[in-house]
Amino acid sequence: MSSLVDPYIPLLEYLAVWAVIVLLAIGVKADKHGIIAKPYYLMLKTQVFNSWMEKLGGRFRKGWLTYFDIGAAMGIGLLIFVILSFVLNAMNLFNRSSSSGPALIIIPLPGVTIGWDIFPYILISIAVLLIPHEVAHGLAASLDKVPLKSSGVFLAVFLPGGFVEIDEEDLSKRKARTKLRVFAAGSFTNVVTWFIVFLLISNFAASISPFYNSNPSGVLITGLVNGGAAQKSNVPAWSVLSQVNGTSIPSINNLQNYLTPLTPGHNLTLTMNTGQKFTVLTQPSLSNSSRATIGIYVFNYYQPHASFIPVSLPYYYANTLSWMNLILLGVALVNMLPMFPFDGDRYFDTILSLLGLKNTKNVRTVASTISLLLLGSNLILSYILFGTIFPK
């Protein structure tokens, strides 16, 4: 029974702390200071961020106008691209093509739908997604003097984020160019952020070079497989493997090349960069019983330039970038679907008005229905083909 309860203990502890914070906020009447406390979220609502966005927009007005004009123009491309992508992926999923990819719904309930180990990465990724997204909407609106009613930050149980409340009535009376800037600003900024993340991933070694050697010089053991060979031999996690049977192992590729020709039942001597040695007996791989495994989770070891710099930081940094890469682009594209209540719906409405269509409601309804069917078919087919839509 305890093994079933243990994974939920951190969740229960978190929710208990959350309940105390909310009760305290309600008790001291924090709403007088712009802090809104509800059982499911905490929100800081203020005018300070409004002034900050207006000042930032005014300081670099020409640059921001160019930036958001590019975003407004690219909005059409994003809208078309996401629809075509969903159509093609749904067809590939239906035909069980190897080129199809799963459409995932990430529900960040640690210990329930996702593991606590990946929760921090999702938390950071969502914050990097939501806060710049909302700031971009606010900046785009302030450039054309569209009033901002309020702005702030929030924490919805587990999800951090930001919000900007724009005067919708005023915005509805503005020119199409202003509307397109505002409606496309969030997704466009998410795409730009994703591209920066993509560049960091593509140039990972260079990005860590101010603090670490850019070339790996060993294999960092980030975890042990439960009941695996390394665990049975008491190999410590976060140690650095430098040799196997006296052969230098400067990277994961070298380790894989060494283990590939081996079969289960081999005795190996693992030498760490500290000089410690461990003898392990290779076991069958779960995916291929004829292949040998030593039961470790690994990442390339990059030697830090100073002894006080953690050896584990590149591993956490790489995982954070990977989750940002997955979440930023995916959400940016989905948000441009012409489907209520996404930004793509309002962007699409503005395009229809530019094309001379006065009553856009019926067309928007059809577009929303088609978009919902496309999104739903991708999720359902992904569930059928891949078995789950919740990454644990």
Secondary structure (H, E, C), 29-85: CHHHHCEEEECCEEEEEECHHHHHHHHHHHHCHHHHHHHHHHHHHHHHHHHHHHHHH
187 and 104 part of one domain: yes
| pLDDT tens track for 117-134 | 787 888 888 889 888 998
Model confidence pTM above 0.85: no
135 and 35 part of one domain: no
Q: Is residue 16 part of a domain?
A: yes
Q: Is residue 290 part of a domain?
A: yes
Q: In sequence order, what are the residues at sequence separation of 6 or more whose Cβ sits closer than 8 angstroms to the Cβ of residue 377?
A: 86, 90, 93
Q: Is residue 85 part of a domain?
A: yes
Q: How far apart (Å, rounded) are the C-alpha atoms in residues 382 and 298?
A: 29
Instruction: Quote the pLDDT of residue 347.
Output: 94
Q: Is residue 309 part of a domain?
A: no
| Residue that terminates a domain, selected from 240, 274, 301 | 301
358 and 256 part of one domain: no
18 and 55 part of one domain: no
Q: Is residue 363 part of a domain?
A: yes
121 and 196 part of one domain: yes
Instruction: Quote the pLDDT of residue 362.
Output: 92
Domain boundaries, position 232: 216-301
Q: In sequence order, what are the residues at sequence separation of 6 or more whose Cβ sits closer than 8 angstroms to the Cβ of residue 64?
A: 57, 139, 140, 143
Domain containing residue 290: CATH number: 2.30.42.10
| pLDDT tens track for 296-336 | 999 999 999 998 999 999 999 999 999 999 889 888 988 89
**Count of structural domains, the chain:** 3
22 and 134 part of one domain: no
pLDDT at 1 over 50: no
Q: Is residue 260 part of a domain?
A: yes
169 and 240 part of one domain: no
Q: Is residue 306 part of a domain?
A: no
60 and 153 part of one domain: yes
